[in-house]
């Protein structure tokens, strides 16, 4: 039998005990130098006994090999096995291997690899090691590892008398064939000119045909190397079909067509932007096409000018650098208003809810839908679990009016009223995990979503009606249009109109960000309802203490690359979340600051407010933290992390975004 080397004593099953004994004896020597001879003697005895125990175990393995070979009917079955084979203990200690395995692990630490492999097998097979079947890679080759546990003695089995036999079956050629087969599968996608109408409206009549032809030519040049099909579905949509192997070229170039198409100029006042959706999941061609259509909806819901790849049930995003283009037509608002009216009329009651930590926009949109339902004599309630200091004046104005005695209620009071005939309207969010009444949403059978944030992959599933327009300044603007363009004249009360106006005011930062013609038209319509603009502005004025707190946050901010500010809001402040958002706004007003992130810790969560002037997409960054919003305004909440850990994560995300941009 092969003699063991001294370092073979330090095998996994004994290593910890030897180290522990060594430090105990060392401590004895430090405490009493006269104990050194005794400690050396004890440690030597320990090493010797460990050596003998190890040798004894190997002898038992060898002594029982004959019975093992007998079971396999031939002594050449294992010893001369034509594929790599190894016998190891339950701790990964290599007892024997054939020459084929020795060649396979040439240049690798065989012992360490087996120890790591055993850890993976323990997690997968719960230490039972029955019928092992696992795929691994070694030296760019793929192997299927088969094996099982073998008991060497049938009677009075002791620790160490079971071994694991593993066989490494080379599957490299199979993987190559599978890769060729997988690469040859069809990828189906849809390309859409997402600002087609606005593009042509801003182009001279003589240049319109040339612009459309140039766009199509540019697309065909970009797609030509795949040898696939690019076919026009209608005036602004194209179907693309190509082999899956070309997908890597598209992703590596980050869909360069998104940027190059913007260079086309034929007197058009706005650049051409595309939305691209590709589905590479398994399924028949119709299923792949429908998957591409759903991915295109996601791209458009996120503002367009981006590519979405649907893969393994998840979405990957590329691009999304352009600001949203305001739609000039009001047709959709009229259609949504009519559809919502029909849903309200066929419902017994209406429940409206916004997102958690209700803000002015969510409250304003909710109050607008409340009035819409009341206009058709339907019972209506707004989920109102809590509110911040910023909403105090608005809230008090509402509850002081007897008309709203049963309007704003907590979720537990409204939940018993929800039935199959209840219409639930979600405003200012489209994410199921962000709604203020999750139990109501889970119980509802009919859900309407009205939102202006860029679409997330965690959207509410299967709503009966969706009004999702990312160009809009706020959900309050969208709800105002629904009321404004309804067939019947709906008279808003002063409180409702002021709530809607407050929602637009806060989300546009007093009409300085993300405003369009339709934003001011909605504000003008609300002004006709008799709102007191000065009083609303006063409601949102900052008091001295809050302003000082914001100044402290700004003073202690950290600059990244001289243009990105990141700051932490101190603990113990009364209105931490409000101060965090306002500090992020104020930082962006400073000269040279293009992007700001402010963090605060509240009720076990780290809240993040992100702001941008458009040079960086804060929504894409905060999506990595489970948040969302717009390209210029976004937020997120993180659980299970300290505020410093989240800060470092944001810094890493910023660096990654800067690298990707380059």
CATH 3.90.1640.10 is right for the domain spanning 331-539: yes
Residue predicted with more confidence, 620 or 191: 191
Q: What does the pLDDT average to over 651-661?
A: 77
pLDDT digits (tens, 9 = 90+) for 98-124: 888 888 888 888 888 888 888 888 777
pLDDT digits (tens, 9 = 90+) for 447-493: 999 998 877 777 888 888 888 888 888 999 999 999 998 888 888 99
Task: Give dist(CA 617, CA 35) in Å, integer.
Answer: 69
Beta bridge partners of 140: none
Q: Is the pLDDT of residue 127 over 90?
A: no
Helix (H) or strand (E) holding 616: none
Which percentage of the chain shows pLDDT scores above 70?
A: 89
Which has the minimum average pLDDT: 65-74, 98-107, 134-143, 353-362? 65-74
pLDDT digits (tens, 9 = 90+) for 482-538: 999 888 888 899 889 999 999 999 888 888 777 888 899 999 999 888 888 888 877
3-class SS letters over 274-285: EEEEEECCCCCH
Check: CB of residue 471 under 8 Å from CB of residue 451: no
CATH number for 184-319: choose from 1.10.238.10, 3.40.605.10, 3.40.190.10, 3.30.70.270.
3.30.70.270
Q: Is the pLDDT of residue 70 over 70?
A: no
DSSP string, 296-346: HHHHHHTTSSEEEEEETTEEEEEE--SPPPPP---HHHHHHHHHHHHHHHT
pLDDT digits (tens, 9 = 90+) for 317-372: 888 766 555 565 677 788 889 889 999 999 999 999 998 888 889 999 999 999 99
pLDDT band at 79; cut points 50, 70, 90: low
Q: What does the pLDDT average to over 61-83?
A: 57
DSSP code of residue 377: T
pLDDT band at 10; cut points 50, 70, 90: low
Query: Any idea which residue has 């090999």 for tokens?
Result: 65
Check: CB of residue 188 under 8 Å from CB of residue 292: yes
Domain boundaries along the sequence of the chain: 1-63, 184-319, 331-539, 544-661
Q: The tokens of 145 are what?
A: 């590892």
Q: What does the pLDDT average to over 305-321?
A: 84
The residues, any chain, with a CB within 8 Å of residue 492's CB and separated by 6 or more, are 368, 371, 483, 500, 526, 529
pTM of the model: 0.63
Task: Give dist(CA 433, CA 628) in Å, integer.
Answer: 12
CATH 1.10.8.290 is right for the domain spanning 544-661: no
Q: What does the pLDDT average to over 586-601?
A: 89
Provide the b/e sequence for 57-68 (b: ≥16 CB within 10 Å): bbeebeebbeeb
Determine how many CB atoms are found less than 10 A away from the CB of residue 554: 19
The three-class DSSP label of residue 350 is strand
Which has the minimum average pLDDT: 42-51, 236-245, 581-590, 617-626? 42-51
pLDDT band at 188; cut points 50, 70, 90: very high
Q: Is the pLDDT of residue 73 over 50?
A: no
């Amino acid at each position: 039998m092969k003699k063991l080397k001294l370092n073979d004593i330090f095998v996994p099953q004994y290593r910890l005990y030897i180290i522990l004994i060594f430090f105990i004896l060392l401590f004895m020597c430090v405490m009493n130098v006269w104990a050194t001879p005794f400690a050396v003697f004890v440690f030597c005895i320990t090493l010797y006994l460990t050596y003998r125990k190890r040798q004894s175990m190997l002898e038992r393995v060898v002594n029982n090999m004959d019975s093992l070979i007998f079971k396999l009917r031939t002594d050449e079955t294992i010893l001369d096995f034509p594929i790599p084979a190894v016998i190891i203990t339950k701790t990964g200690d290599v007892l024997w291997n054939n020459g084929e395995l020795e060649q396979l692990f040439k240049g690798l630490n065989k012992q360490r690899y087996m120890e790591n492999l055993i850890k993976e097998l323990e997690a997968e097979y719960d230490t039972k090691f029955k019928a092992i079947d696992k795929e691994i890679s070694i030296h760019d080759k793929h192997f299927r590892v088969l094996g099982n546990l073998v008991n060497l003695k049938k009677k009075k089995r002791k620790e160490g008398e079971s071994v694991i036999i593993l066989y490494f079956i080379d599957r490299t050629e199979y993987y190559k064939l599978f890769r060729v087969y997988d690469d040859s599968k069809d990828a189906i996608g849809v390309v859409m000119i997402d600002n087609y109408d606005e593009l042509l409206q801003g182009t001279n009549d003589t240049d319109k045909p040339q612009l459309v032809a140039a766009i199509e030519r540019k697309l065909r040049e970009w797609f030509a190397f795949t040898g696939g099909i690019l076919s026009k579905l209608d005036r602004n949509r194209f179907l693309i079909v190509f082999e899956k192997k070309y997908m890597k070229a598209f992703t590596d170039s980050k869909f360069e067509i998104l940027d190059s198409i913007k260079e086309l100029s034929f007197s058009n006042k706005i650049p051409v932007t595309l939305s691209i959706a590709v589905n590479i999941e398994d399924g028949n061609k119709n299923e792949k096409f429908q998957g591409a259509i759903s991915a295109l909806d996601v791209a458009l819901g996120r503002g367009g000018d981006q590519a979405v790849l649907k893969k393994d049930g998840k979405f990957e995003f590329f691009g999304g650098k352009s600001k949203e283009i305001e739609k000039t037509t009001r047709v959709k608002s009229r259609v949504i208003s009519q559809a919502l009216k029909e849903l309200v009329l066929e419902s017994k009651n209406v429940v409206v809810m916004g997102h958690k930590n209700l803000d002015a926009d969510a409250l304003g949109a909710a109050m607008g839908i409340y009035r819409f339902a009341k206009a058709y004599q339907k019972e209506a309630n707004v989920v109102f679990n809590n509110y911040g200091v910023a909403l105090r004046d608005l809230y008090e104005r509402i509850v002081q009016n007897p008309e709203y005695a049963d309007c704003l209620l907590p979720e537990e009071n409204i939940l018993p009223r929800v039935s199959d005939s209840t219409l639930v309207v979600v405003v200012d969010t489209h994410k199921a995990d962000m709604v203020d009444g999750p139990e109501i949403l889970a119980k509802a059978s009919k859900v309407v979503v009205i939102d202006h944030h860029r679409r997330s992959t965690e959207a509410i599933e299967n709503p009966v009606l969706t009004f999702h327009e990312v160009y809009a300044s706020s959900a309050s603007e969208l709800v105002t249009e629904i009321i404004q363009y309804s067939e019947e004249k709906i008279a808003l009360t002063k409180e409702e109109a002021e709530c809607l106006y407050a929602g637009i005011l806060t989300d546009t930062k007093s009409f300085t960000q993300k405003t369009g013609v339709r934003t001011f038209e909605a504000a003008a319509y609300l002004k006709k309802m008799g709102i007191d603009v000065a009083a609303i502005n006063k409601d949102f004025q900052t008091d001295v203490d809050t302003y000082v707190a914001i100044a402290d946050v700004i003073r202690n901010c950290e600059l990244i690359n001289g243009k990105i500010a990141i700051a932490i809001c101190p603990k113990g402040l009364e209105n931490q979340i409000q101060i965090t958002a306002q500090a992020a706004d104020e930082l962006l007003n400073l000269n040279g600051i293009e992007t700001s992130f402010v963090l605060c810790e509240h009720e076990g969560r780290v809240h993040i407010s992100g702001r941008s002037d458009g040079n960086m997409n804060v929504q894409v960054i905060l999506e990595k933290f489970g948040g969302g919003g717009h390209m210029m305004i976004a937020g997120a909440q993180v659980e299970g992390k300290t505020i410093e850990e989240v800060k470092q994560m944001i810094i890493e995300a910023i660096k990654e975004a800067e690298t990707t941009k380059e």
